Structure 1
């Protein structure tokens, strides 16, 4: 399954590194989110068509976290 990297972002947080890669393949666009902790990696794939819902959910979570600080 070949895929083309369209955009990438890297976030450093303490001992973790998060990679957010927008990719496109024959099935469409997807955001690949990878967490690297000392060489151990976990990855999830988020279909681009649900990014609006995904970002809205993260925004709600951040608002709750801000309220509880």
Structure 2
């Protein structure tokens, strides 16, 4: 994807890691690119926006479980 395909970006700092969440668009549609950077190493996943709601729901459930076990 070209740089001009970037529609929105967010950056989250967590300890020694940085997470980048980029909304991009290509010929097949929109995707969220999630990148974790730590000590110069990067890992990335691409998430089609069609499943973004399911992904957010799952993260919300995980957060609820984590919060209740504290």
Per the TM superposition, whether the score is higher than 0.5 is yes
The aligned residue for residue 54 of structure 1 is: 55
Calculate the aligned-residue CA RMSD, in Å.
1.1
Runs of 4+ in structure 1 deviating by more than 3 angstroms, as ranges, are none
Q: Secondary structure at the match of 2:66?
A: helix
Shift of 1:55: 0.2
2:13 corresponds in structure 1 to 12
**TM-score if structure 1 supplies the norm length?**
0.96
Q: Structure 2 regions of 5+ residues with no counterpart?
A: none
Distance 1:50 1:2 in 2: 23
Task: Work out the CA distance in 2 between the residues paired with 1:32 and 1:48.
Answer: 10
- Following superposition, the deviation at residue 23 of structure 1 comes to 0.2
Secondary structure of 1:60's aligned partner: helix
The alignment's TM-score, normalised by the length of structure 2, stands at 0.94
Instruction: State how far apart, in whole Å, the 2-side matches of 1:39 and 1:27 are.
Output: 30
In structure 2, the residue matched to 1:27 is: 28
Count of equivalent residues: 69
For structure 1, which runs of at least 5 residues remain unmatched after alignment?
Answer: none
